[in-house]
Structure 1
Amino acid sequence: MPQPCSVLSLDVGRRRIGLAGCDPLGITVTPLSALQRRRFDGDLIVLQQLCRDRRIQGLVVGLPLDAAGQPTAQAEHCRRYGRRLAQALQLPLAWVNEHSSTWAAGEQYGLSGDRSGRLDSAAAALLLEQWLREGPELKPVQPSGDSAGIEQADGGS
């Protein structure tokens, strides 16, 4: 189980990023307004302010692995985005397998088919709850590419 701290969870999609945060003790997980994707620099401005406002100490990014635990094309995109964001924000990062998280969030919260971003943020909240239960620990992002990112995403939702 990871050390509790104020964390921002991201469910990175091509159009939106679902967001959820937790309190510094890791007790309360709150879905936040989803971010409509722009260019990375535009996303970064919004996320920098959110991290300042919430005193974020780390990031959790979902990686969509397939049923066999192998990375999908979207997982590679999420990994690049997460690493770039963590470096820009100078925050440690953890990966969580988000296989079926959007489906699970839709079922759990009655949001199946939602296009407003509420479903994306509900999925980010499930990812954060999973991370709080299972980890892994937040780790600083190294400037050079590392292949450990995908393998560290474990569990399932």
Structure 2
Amino acid sequence: MLARHAPPIPRSVLSLDIGQRRIGLAGCDPLGITVKPLQPLQRSLFHLDLARIGEVCSKRIIHGLVIGLPLDKNGNITCQAYHCQRYGLRLARALGIPLAMVNEHGSSLEAAALHGLYGDRSGRLDSAAAALILEQWLREGPELELIRSGKLAKFLEAGDHNNQHRAGYQS
């Protein structure tokens, strides 16, 4: 006899492909059936980025964030992945919504190949990569963690000073 699983809770989620200059955005419908790249954001000061992402979350009635981590080919954290992780944790905590993180190794190359966006500097490539990140998260069995508790909160509170120093990150 097959085990019965409860259907997933309907919720709209926002995926972010966090770069140094831009943040690619993608969203899905509450059932996770359709994924759509959204208008990318030009990076600015954190509080300005937070305000703009907060507007998107309010407008789309977002119930969770998915952050892509650009791990290396062996699955190890890179300097950029560390920055993305910290940025995503800060966003989720400030917005008060749950967060998930996925390995996005190669997502920009895949998005460029799928959409013919090689050399794109408009941000369309970043949002196409965010869409791939969201599709991957939906396929892998979506889970979100509220940052106020759990292991992501402990990471954020600990500050992980060794990684900060190695990555050259300043909070």
Q: TM-score, normalised by structure 1?
A: 0.89
In the TM superposition, what whole-angstrom CA distance separates every residue of 1:64-115 from its partner, at most 9, and x where no partner exists?
0000000000000000000000000001000010100000000001101100
Query: What is the alpha-carbon root mean square deviation over aligned residues?
Result: 1.6
Which protein is bigger by CA-based radius of gyration? 2
In the TM superposition, what whole-angstrom CA distance separates every residue of 1:126-151 from its partner, at most 9, and x where no partner exists?
0000000003411111343269xxxx
**Identical counterparts, % of pairs:** 63
Partner of residue 145, structure 1: 155
Partner of residue 45, structure 1: 51
Q: Which runs of 5+ in 2 are unaligned?
A: 1-6, 159-171
3-state SS of the aligned residue for 2:125? helix
* In 2, Cα distance between equivalents of 1:136 and 1:73: 25
Structure 1 segment 102-121 matched on structure 2, within 5 A = 102-121=108-127
Distance 1:3 1:107, change over 3 A: farther
Q: Which runs of 5+ in 1 are unaligned?
A: 148-157
3-state SS of the aligned residue for 1:57? strand
Q: TM-score, normalised by structure 2?
A: 0.82
Structure 1 segment 17-56 matched on structure 2, within 5 A = 17-56=23-62
* In 1, Cα distance between equivalents of 2:137 and 2:16: 12
| Higher RCO (CA < 8 A, seq sep 6+) | 1
* In 1, Cα distance between equivalents of 2:9 and 2:17: 21
Q: Which runs of 4+ in 1 moved over 4 A?
A: 1-4
**Aligned pair count?**
147
How much has 1:5 moved relative to structure 2? 1.9
